[in-house]
């Protein structure tokens, strides 16, 4: 064993010194670095994003119940060392002098909020300061709107139940304010220690009990899974993903971006590694053939090969992981200023992933050749018949393809995306082979018609090189086109896609909602908006309705397993009506009504809601609207972009149907943050109105988008390096063969010009075919991603395509020529000796 190890070690060292191993190790190190860095990075960013989202929840997760939180849940959190506090939310009246007002009281324990902060000020016009604490016992913090309604200032007293509290501060911003946007009464924040004295919580009170928790992601995840399994009636557990659909949507898209870029790196790194393994495998096989000649037993040779493979994989994995770690440290520095809270600490999991990937890739590369060596006798080797029965290209690349597929599956976390990616890679291979084959044929035909001359003949010879090295040329073109595809996707996604994503939430998107507008107030409010120069105000009607039956069957909430379906079916719907569909909605099935169909009992449902309730196109739903049963037929299904923050409705009917019922109206508009004066005026003029401020929430969403754009650019830089590595490896893979060919051509009298023209022609074709395929593939992929994954419109970028074609058809042959140019100067004799 020691001898085998020694042999493996010395041979690995000689291969390294000879330079054969360098490109392979470089590619492998890069592959591991890309995989570990992306893995480290996505993990940290994902948890940072969760924390970012946690700011809106006030913690990482929240256990909610309509009864006091079970002690078992609290004990579990305490035993895990998780930060935990309780909050209580309920509606009640507060009184100041003669004025009483319905408010939403939130009583919190000291330590609130566990994540994020609050902004408080001394007056309602104050810029305010951010604090990470809650009111002291005996103190209450209230929203500016409530201060206006009650006519109070800091230092005044308010009565809360049987208790009197002093106003300690004006609560200017509370990011953790969750819940149903349309049920907001103004907020009053108090300390939980004051609850008993207030005697507000009695038997039968409707209170939302909440246990907020914060800890590292692993603990949070464990707690979430364990507790979710034990939830009883009236209990639920939420993390940031289901706390707010707007944040969930932004986070999901961010994760998809990151996952995508990680996957691209993995594919590219594997291709680079495969390409650069070819010279290594050839040289090792020669060595092992000789060892067999010198009397080494087959087992010894195979053991040495296995050990050598593991040695290379091991050291590359160490170097790669170290590089990956350094790369993500750079990122952590960058991201430290990007993210509000410190990035969570690292786990070692990505390092194991890097090691596993390194081993798997090396083994996949070596196995087919080891298998081939199995059957060789010493005499085969003596007669230089080592490769008399070459293994087929398919068999040679099959194990590597399996490893790549496994890594795609692992990275994608989604079978559908993984399968699509693999199909895309496969299609890429087929298309490239087809192009190469077709081009060679047509060039041959074309040249047989053209008057012959030396230059044309050299070009033809070069293009025929594609056919001569059909297998390798195809692999090279796949490598080139994947590299290009990444560059193009990078350009498309970084530019167009992210731009469109951010554009889905423009800086002047509505950030204030006014609800509870009465029909008689519409004219006045519209005039008010006009006077205040507030633009883009739309006023939507809302009519409360309860779902009674579907296709003649009474709705029984027990029929749904899904908690969300139950909640949706239990609660009242806000039905709205509209003549045209809102611009940020997209029709998925059925059709929108024509003006002749106004007044007909039609219904357009939001896709997600329809799915949850199991409603299909054509179903008849009966709603109870103010005591009247109305049957509506589902005529269309819509996709709604919830993260645009506009007022949107699950269920919409044509105009002329719901007007007779008592309707409430809602309006949304944009006001710069802090410019609240018109709002206060509006509320004074129409005291029944409730204004909802989502500016803070939108800032969070926009912040996530901006941070993610930077993060994605960083992750894509790995893909970019991997793409360049592929180009380099593809050149190195065939370099030796090309030098041999060029030398022989020169021995037979080819001028350097002829050789140069032949190579430039061959590589120009490789570059052009690769660019063509990359253009088609990247645009299809970008189209698919935009439309189906990211839900943003796709834009075809002609300039980009032209640039890529031009650059690829010039840079690829130029790079190849630069690589071979040196050899064209060396006298052929010296090269003959070395080939």
| Binding residues for another protein (CB under 8 A) | 383-384, 387-388, 390, 452-454, 457, 461, 468-469, 472, 737, 740-741, 744-754, 825, 827-830, 832, 835
**Smallest distance from another protein to CB 386, Å:** 9
Tell me whether residue 395 or residue 662 sits nearer to another protein (CB atom).
395
Q: Which is nearer to another protein, 386 or 504 (CB)?
A: 386
Shortest Cβ 456–another protein spacing (Å): 8
Helices and strands per DSSP (H, E), number in the chain: 24, 22
**Minimum distance from CB of 20 to another protein (Å)?**
18
Output the CA torsion 692→697→698→699 (10° steps): 130
Which residue lies nearer to another protein by CB, 211 or 742? 742
> With respect to another protein, which residue has the nearer C-beta, 201 or 289?
289
First to last CA, the chain: 35
Give the three-class secondary structure for 794: coil
Nearer to another protein among residue 595 and residue 751 (C-beta): 751
3-state secondary structure of 171: strand
Pairwise CA distance, residues 751 & 619, whole Å: 79
Question: How far apart are CB 469 and another protein at their closest, in Å?
Answer: 5
Q: Is 618 left (phi over 0), alpha (psi -120 to 50) or beta?
A: left
Residues in CB range of 503: below 8 A, 6 or more apart: none
Give 329 or 835: the residue with its C-beta nearer to another protein: 835
Alpha-carbon distance of 146 to 102, in angstroms, equals 9
CB of 825 to another protein, least distance (A): 8
Q: Are 601 and 630 in contact (CB under 8 A)?
A: yes
Residue closer to another protein by CB (options 167, 733) is 733
Between CA 473 and CA 821 the distance in angstroms is: 20
Report, in Å, the least distance between residue 389 CB and another protein: 9
User: What is the DSSP secondary-structure string of 339-358?
Assistant: SSSPPPPP-SHHHHHHHHHH
Closest separation in Å from C-beta 442 to another protein: 19
Cβ–Cβ contacts within 10 Å for residue 519, how many?
A: 12
In the complex, minimum distance from the CB of residue 311 to another protein, in angstroms, rounded to a whole number: 29
Strand pairing category for 553-554 and 602-606: unpaired
Would you say how long the chain is, in residues? Answer: 835
Can you tell me the distance from the alpha carbon of 132 to that of 119, in angstroms, rounded to the nearest whole number?
A: 9
**Rounded distance between C-alpha atoms, residue 393 and residue 652, angstroms:** 59
Grouping H, G, I as helix, E, B as strand and the rest as coil, residue 669 is strand
Comparison of 218 and 830: residue with beta carbon closer to another protein: 830
Calculate ∠ Cα 288-293-295, nearest 5°.
Answer: 100
How is residue 499 written in tokens? 């731009």
Q: Are 261 and 38 in contact (CB under 8 A)?
A: yes
Give the separation between CA 830 and CA 827, rounded to whole angstroms.
Answer: 6
DSSP SS3 for 637: strand
Facing residues of 541 across strands?
665
Contacts of 812 (CB under 8 A, 6+ apart): 480, 727, 763, 764, 766, 767, 770
Distance (Å, whole) CA 475 – CA 277? 13
Q: In whole angstroms, how close is the CB of 281 to another protein at the nearest point?
A: 14
Q: Strand, coil or helix: what is 106?
A: strand
Q: How near is the Cβ of 374 to another protein at its closest, in Å?
A: 18
Whichever of 384 and 591 has its CB closer to another protein, that residue is: 384
Shortest Å distance, C-beta 401 to another protein:
23
Q: Between residues 127 and 379, which has the closer beta carbon with respect to another protein?
A: 379
Residue 557 vs 830, nearer CB to another protein: 830
What b-and-e string marks burial along 409-418, b requiring 16 or more CB atoms within 10 Å of the CB?
A: bbbbeeeebb
**68: which 2 tokens?**
């006091």
DSSP state at residue 69: P
The residue (of 431 and 461) whose beta carbon lies closer to another protein is 461
Q: What is the DSSP secondary-structure string of 269-282?
A: HHHHHHHHHHHHHH
With respect to another protein, which residue has the nearer C-beta, 447 or 686?
447
As measured in angstroms, the least distance from the Cβ of 390 to another protein is 7
Residues 6+ apart with CB under 8 A from 64: 208, 209, 210, 211, 235, 236, 237, 238
CB of 500 to another protein, least distance (A): 47
Q: Single out the residue of 195, 174, 90, 104 nearest to residue 132, CA to CA.
A: 174
Estimate to the nearest angstrom the gap between the alpha carbon of 589 and the chain centroid.
27
The whole-angstrom separation of Cα 501 and Cα 253 is 9
Q: How far is the CB of 736 from another protein (least distance, A)?
A: 10
Nearest-10 Cα torsion for 764, 770, 773, 779:
-110
Give 383 or 535: the residue with its C-beta nearer to another protein: 383
Q: How far is the CB of 399 from another protein (least distance, A)?
A: 22
The answer to whether 161 and 200 are in contact (CB under 8 A) is yes
Q: To the nearest whole angstrom, how small is the minimum distance from the Cβ of residue 740 to another protein?
A: 7
User: What is the closest distance, in whole angstroms, from the C-beta atom of residue 5 to another protein in the complex?
Assistant: 32
User: 269 or 459: whose CB is closer to another protein?
Assistant: 459
Distance in Å, CB of 765 to another protein, minimum? 16
| Helices marked H in 19-143 | 20-57, 71-79
**Could you give the CA distance from residue 224 to residue 217 in angstroms, rounded to a whole number?**
10
The Cα–Cα gap between 135 and 139 comes to: 6
Please count the other Cβ atoms lying within 10 Å of the Cβ belonging to residue 354.
30
| Residue (433 or 457) nearer to another protein, CB | 457
Nearer to another protein, 17 or 468 (CB): 468
State which residue, 384 or 684, has the beta carbon closest to another protein: 384
């Amino acid at each position: 064993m020691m001898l085998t190890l020694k042999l493996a070690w010395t041979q690995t060292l000689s291969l390294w010194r000879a330079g054969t191993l360098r490109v392979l190790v470089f590619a492998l190190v890069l592959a591991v670095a890309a995989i570990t860095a992306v893995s480290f990075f996505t993990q940290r960013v994902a948890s940072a994003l969760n924390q970012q989202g946690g700011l809106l929840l006030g913690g990482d997760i929240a256990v909610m119940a309509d009864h006091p939180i079970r002690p078992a849940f609290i004990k579990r959190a305490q035993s895990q060392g998780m930060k935990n506090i309780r909050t209580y939310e309920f509606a009640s009246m507060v009184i100041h002098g003669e004025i009483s007002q319905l408010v939403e009281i939130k009583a919190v324990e000291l330590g609130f909020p566990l994540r994020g902060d609050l902004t408080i000020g001394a007056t309602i016009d104050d810029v305010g300061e951010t604090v990470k604490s809650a009111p002291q016992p005996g103190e209450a913090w209230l929203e500016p709107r409530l201060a206006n309604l009650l006519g109070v200032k800091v230092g005044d007293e308010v009565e809360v139940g049987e208790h009197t509290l002093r106003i300690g501060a004006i609560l200017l911003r509370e990011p953790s304010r969750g819940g149903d946007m349309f049920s907001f009464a103004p907020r009053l924040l108090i300390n939980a220690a004051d609850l008993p004295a207030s005697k507000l919580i009695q038997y039968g009170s409707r209170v939302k009990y909440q246990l907020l928790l914060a800890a590292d992601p692993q603990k949070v995840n464990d707690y979430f899974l364990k507790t979710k399994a034990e939830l009883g009636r009236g209990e639920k557990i939420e993390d940031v993903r289901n706390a707010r659909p707007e944040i969930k949507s932004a986070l999901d898209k961010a994760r998809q971006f990151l996952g995508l870029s990680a996957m691209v790196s993995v594919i590219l790194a594997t291709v680079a590694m495969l390409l650069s393994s070819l010279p290594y495998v050839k040289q090792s096989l020669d060595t092992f053939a000789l060892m067999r000649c010198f009397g080494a037993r087959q087992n010894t040779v195979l053991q040495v090969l296995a050990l050598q493979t593991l040695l290379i994989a091991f050291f590359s994995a160490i170097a790669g992981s170290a590089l990956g770690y350094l790369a993500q440290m750079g990122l952590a520095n960058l991201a430290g200023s990007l993210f509000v809270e410190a990035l969570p600490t690292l786990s070692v999991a990505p390092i194991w992933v890097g090691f596993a990937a390194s081993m798997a890739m090396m083994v996949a590369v070596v196995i087919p050749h080891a298998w081939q060596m199995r059957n060789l006798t010493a005499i085969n080797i003596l007669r230089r018949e080592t490769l008399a029965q070459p293994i087929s290209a398919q068999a040679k690349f099959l194990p590597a393809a399996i490893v790549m597929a496994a890594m795609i599956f692992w990275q994608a976390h989604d079978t559908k995306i993984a399968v699509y990616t693999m199909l895309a890679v496969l299609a890429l291979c087929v298309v490239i082979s087809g192009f190469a084959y077709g081009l060679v044929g047509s060039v041959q035909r074309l040249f047989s018609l053209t008057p012959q001359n030396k230059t044309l003949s050299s070009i033809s010879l070069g293009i025929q090189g594609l056919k001569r090295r059909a297998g390798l040329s195809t692999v090279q073109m796949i490598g080139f086109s994947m590299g290009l595809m990444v560059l193009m996707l990078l350009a498309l996604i970084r530019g167009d896609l992210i731009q469109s994503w951010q554009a889905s939430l423009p800086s002047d998107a509505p950030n204030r909602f006014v609800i509870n507008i009465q029909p008689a107030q519409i004219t006045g409010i519209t005039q008010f908006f006009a006077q205040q120069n507030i633009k883009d105000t739309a006023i939507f009607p809302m009519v409360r309705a309860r779902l009674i039956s579907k296709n003649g069957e009474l709705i029984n909430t027990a029929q749904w397993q899904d908690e969300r379906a139950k909640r949706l079916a239990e609660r009242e719907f806000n039905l709205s009506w509209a003549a045209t569909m809102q611009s940020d909605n997209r029709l998925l099935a059925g059709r929108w009504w024509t003006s002749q169909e106004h007044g007909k009992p039609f219904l357009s449902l939001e896709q997600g809601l329809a799915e949850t309730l199991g409603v299909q196109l054509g179903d008849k739903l009966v709603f109870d609207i103010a005591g009247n049963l109305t049957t509506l037929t589902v005529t269309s299904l819509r996709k709604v972009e919830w993260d645009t923050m506009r007022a949107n409705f699950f269920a919409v009917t044509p105009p002329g149907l719901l007007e007779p019922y008592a309707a409430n109206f809602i309006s949304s508009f944009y006001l710069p943050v802090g410019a609240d004066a018109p709002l206060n005026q509006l509320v004074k003029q129409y005291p029944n109105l409730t204004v909802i401020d989502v500016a803070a929430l939108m800032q969070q969403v926009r912040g996530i988008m901006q941070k993610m754009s930077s993060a994605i650019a960083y992750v894509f830089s790995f893909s970019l390096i991997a793409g360049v590595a592929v180009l380099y490896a593809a050149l190195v893979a065939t370099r030796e063969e090309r030098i041999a060919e060029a030398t022989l051509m020169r021995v037979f009298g080819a001028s350097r010009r002829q050789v140069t023209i032949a190579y430039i022609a061959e590589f120009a074709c490789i570059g052009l075919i690769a660019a063509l395929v990359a253009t088609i593939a990247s645009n299809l992929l970008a189209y698919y991603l935009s439309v189906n994954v990211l839900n943003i419109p796709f834009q075809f970028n002609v300039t980009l395509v032209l640039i890529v074609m031009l650059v690829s058809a010039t840079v690829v042959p130029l790079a190849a020529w630069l690589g071979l140019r040196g050899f064209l100067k060396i006298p052929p004799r010296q090269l003959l000796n070395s080939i």
